[in-house]
Structure 1
């Protein structure tokens, strides 16, 4: 398929995401995740995207999904290493496509490197919901599986960019996946984030231009995923209340534990 076809497919469905991590309300009672444990940490300024305090999740559906992706990534990294050493003998077209994207990014520096991966992944994957593609409400897919199918939703784009950026030379501490909540539409959305010169840039499947976290509007960060695990953003109003109490940590962590299993409504 030519580049122009991919571009049309991307534009036609750039608002598609199709995630519903915890399923419809009618199904949640049957498939409810166990209570999420939140590791208590000291409330302090954060180096994470958006500069907000975060708390590690030690259990729950979101963490399980990410750990599942990591297990599949272990196998894909072996496949990529083999194909990189012998491209003529590589049997995986998805691996070759991924390596081409990374190679092109390595030829650039700084913001241009990030933009190359953002653009290439956006054009290489057509937007399609998990229900349409897998017949399931929520499936997290590793990069080679996504490229092999040719389609995915917002978290599939974000995962592919996260891995491609790492292979292109970015440090693990400068890479994240962020789950955002649209305060106008009520929808949730996943993007990759990369730190450049001290600023976090959002790599979004819905646009080619990258936007700094400080310039994001009408989107509230909810979760962030990095090399050390899955974290939940603390509510700013709760932190303000906690700052005036001696039991700040227990107040924040107990509130997060109570709300961590509330369903995320991923529509776009």
Structure 2
């Protein structure tokens, strides 16, 4: 299918990417650990240059742990198919291996761009409710490719895993949850660090955008090698006119104040 057709599909499906996430009870459990002030000192490691603290419990953490358990099974399937493509019984695994293989032939930014483009084209945007009959279903890459569709966190997870398989170090990969302050929705993207700069890989666009150039979003959570972390309370990255830069963000209250509860997207 041509790129223009997929572009129309993205526009039609963008509204499917407002993550409904979790019910109120689970949200209240997502609080900063008492040791947060000490952790918040490390401010330059995560995308957007903002401090983050470990999330010890809650719905988001449970979702990610479930994805990791399912990923273990998918990694076995990928290993089997990589060793015997002719005997592979999973078209999704073969497609994923082709995407990773093409990316390995490239270097630097081109490698990231190859995966961003290929995953965007391989998955059609569709809401969890339309596809699974329930809200907020997270799927690992092979399940997403087998379905042929997914919403923003499914794209982000697929890119996160593909980038790792393509050779990027765990410390240079993240999944970031952002609050779209214009549409009142939550959105997930993959993020990869290249030459000390974080690039966001978004299912809404082919071009990769550096975190300092993201506009009208507020980062709320980040997932990486240390599990699920919550960003310290921070102002909007930039308004529509671009009057504020991400570099000028100031973390409010490093002295242990809890971040606001994660708002549920309707």
TM-score bracket for this pair, using the shorter chain length: 0.7 to 0.9
Which residue of the partner structure matches residue 176 of structure 2?
178
Q: 1:220 and 1:236 mapped to 2: Cα distance?
A: 7
Change (3 A) 1:18 1:133: farther
1:17 is matched with which residue?
Answer: 17
Question: Structure 1: how far apart are the matches of 2:225 and 2:45?
Answer: 14
Q: Is the 8 A contact 1:174 1:195 kept in 2?
A: yes
Answer whether contact 2:19 2:185 (CA < 8 A) is retained. Answer: no
Structure 1 CA distance for aligned equivalents of residues 100 and 162 of structure 2: 6
**C-alpha distance in 1 between matches for 2:204 and 2:251:** 31
TM-score by length of 2: 0.87
Would the alpha carbon gap of residues 3 and 88 (structure 1) be closer, same or farther in structure 2, given more than 3 Å must change? farther
Question: Structure 1 residues 220, 168: CA separation in 2 closer, same or farther (over 3 Å shift)?
Answer: same
Unmatched 5+ stretches in structure 1: 243-247
How far apart, in 2, do the equivalents of 1:241 and 1:134 lie?
40
Q: Give the one of 141, 144, 168 matched to 1:143.
A: 141
- Give, in whole Å, the separation in 2 of the partners of 1:130 and 1:236: 29
Question: Match for 1:38 among 32, 36, 42?
Answer: 32
Q: CA deviation at 1:33?
A: 5.3
Alignment of 1:1-268 (within 5 A): 2-4=1-3, 6=6, 8-14=8-14, 16-22=16-22, 28=24, 32=26, 35-39=29-33, 40-41=35-36, 42=38, 43-44=40-41, 45-236=43-234, 239-242=251-254, 248=255, 251-252=256-257, 255-256=258-259, 259-260=260-261, 262-265=262-265
Aligned mates of 2:15, 2:111 — CA distance in 1:
24
Higher relative contact order (CA 8 A, sep 6+): 1
TM-aligned CA distance change 1:218 to 1:70, over 3 Å: same
Shift of 1:15: 5.1
Q: Is contact 2:50–2:251 with CA below 8 Å preserved after alignment?
A: no
Match of 1:195, SS state, is: strand
Q: State the distance in 1 between where 2:22 and 2:97 align.
A: 33
The 1:7/1:90 distance shift into structure 2, 3 A limit, reads: farther
Q: CA deviation at 1:235?
A: 1.1
Q: What is the root-mean-square deviation in Å for CA atoms of aligned residues?
A: 1.9
Which consecutive unaligned segments of at least 5 residues does structure 2 have? Answer: 236-249
User: Per-residue displacement from partner, 1:166-196 (whole Å, max 9, x unpaired)?
Assistant: 0000000000000011122211100000000
Moved more, 36-45 or 139-148: 36-45
The two structures have a TM-score, normalised by structure 1, of 0.86
8 Å contact kept, 2:26–2:58: no
Q: CA deviation at 1:58?
A: 0.6
* Structure 2 CA distance for partners of 1:108 and 1:33, relative to 1, 3 Å: same
Residues 109 and 52 of structure 1: CA distance in aligned 2, closer, same or farther (over 3 Å): same
